[in-house]
Amino acid sequence: MSRSPVPSTPAREDTLPVQEIFGPVPQGEGPYTGRAAVFVRLGRCNLHCPPCDSKLTWDTSRYDLGATCPPRAAEDIVAAAVALGAGDHRLTVISGGEPLLWQRTRAWEMLLTALPGKIHVESNGTISPTGLTRQRVAHFSVSPKTGAMGAADPAKRRIVPSVLADFARLAEQGRAIFKFVAGDLPEVEEIAELVRAHGLPQGRVWVMPLGDSAESWETAGRAVVERVMEHGFHFSGRLHLALGVR
């Protein structure tokens, strides 16, 4: 009689907290909108944005993160992403939460080493990419938090000048963009002031209207689009809201 091998429990340092892995879906935001992508959403964040649409990854006041983001072995994450089509022409987008919280772990290294194809990372711009992350990640979508998004955290926690300068250099090299959220005109002006103060490359800035539904996104979009154009920024959709997909 043959027995299937008993799966061994992975060492803790070989795991990452995973909220969800899904795809392929069109990337919904920013310059890669429409590109086929598999998303890996990791748990935990160092910020607490009130309009966050990923509270399952960090909000311990509402969720048991052990249940919403259980640890998964890096090799299991890779297998799940590949089963959904990661690699070849499909991107893998590692999101969160704040995924760069994990970049110094062995599991992160295993993940980045084993994932095939292009890897994109979505970050809140408070942690600089180091080592393998810097080498292996093709594109960083960096979203510093301003306006309503940043309302719950002090500015010094949300806006880290040395990290923004680092990502600005990557943006100049074509490897990063900045994606801000704006719900109204004063928030667009706050973004413009931050871009000016930190010398972020204007042509690498996207502004995405605040909205968690196609309707609310459209309302905010109509309110801000003209001013976004006047500042020379790009405008980001949220394709997944319009299509009613993830």
Using the rule CB under 6 A, is 97 a contact of ligand SF4? yes
- Tell whether residue 26 is among the known ligand binding residues: yes
Q: Which of 21, 38, 45, 111 binds ligand SF4 (CB under 6 A)?
A: 45
Contact call for residue 177 and ligand SF4 (CB under 6 A): no
CB of 87 to ligand SF4, least distance (A): 25
H helical segments located in the chain: 65-68, 74-83, 106-114, 131-136, 155-158, 161-172, 185-197, 214-230, 239-243
| Piece of 47-55, 81-89, 101-109, 130-138 that binds ligand SF4 (CB under 6 A) | 47-55
Select the span of 48-56, 75-83, 100-108, 196-204 touching ligand SF4 (CB under 6 A): 48-56
Cβ nearer to ligand SF4, comparing 109 with 153? 153
Enumerate the H helices of 1-95 as residue ranges. Answer: 65-68, 74-83
Is residue 96 at the binding interface for ligand SF4, with CB under 6 A as the rule?
Answer: yes
Quote the CA–CA distance of 31 and 106 in Å, as a whole number: 31
2 labelled ligand-binding: no
Residue among 15, 19, 27, 54 that touches ligand SF4 (CB under 6 A): 54
- Quick one: how far is CA 80 from the chain centroid? 19
Q: Rounded to a whole number, what is the distance in angstroms from the first to the last CA of the chain?
A: 44
Cis-peptide, bond into residue 24, ω within 30° of zero: yes
Interaction between residue 187 and ligand SF4 (CB under 6 A): no
Q: Position 62: which residue type?
A: R
Of the candidate residues 15, 68, 124, 133, the single one contacting ligand SF4 (CB under 6 A): 124
The verdict on whether residue 69 carries a ligand-binding annotation is no
Is 141 annotated as belonging to a binding site? no
On the 0-12 / 13-18 / 19+ scale of CB atoms within 10 A, 107 is buried
CA nearest to 210, candidates 23, 48, 50: 50
Q: Is 41 annotated as a binding residue?
A: yes
| Coil/strand/helix, residue 140 | strand
Q: How far is the CB of 98 from ligand SF4 (least distance, A)?
A: 6
Encoded one letter per residue, x for contact with ligand SF4 by CB under 6 A and - for no contact, window 8-27 reads --------------------
Near ligand SF4 by CB under 6 A: residue from 48, 106, 134, 136 = 48
Nearer to ligand SF4, 158 or 227 (CB): 158
Specify the pairing of strand 139-142 against strand 176-182: parallel
SS3 54: coil
Q: How far is the CB of 146 from ligand SF4 (least distance, A)?
A: 11
Taking the mean position of all CA atoms in its chain, how far away is CA 173?
19
Q: Which residues bind ligand SF4 (CB under 6 A)?
A: 45, 47-49, 52, 54, 58, 96-98, 124, 145
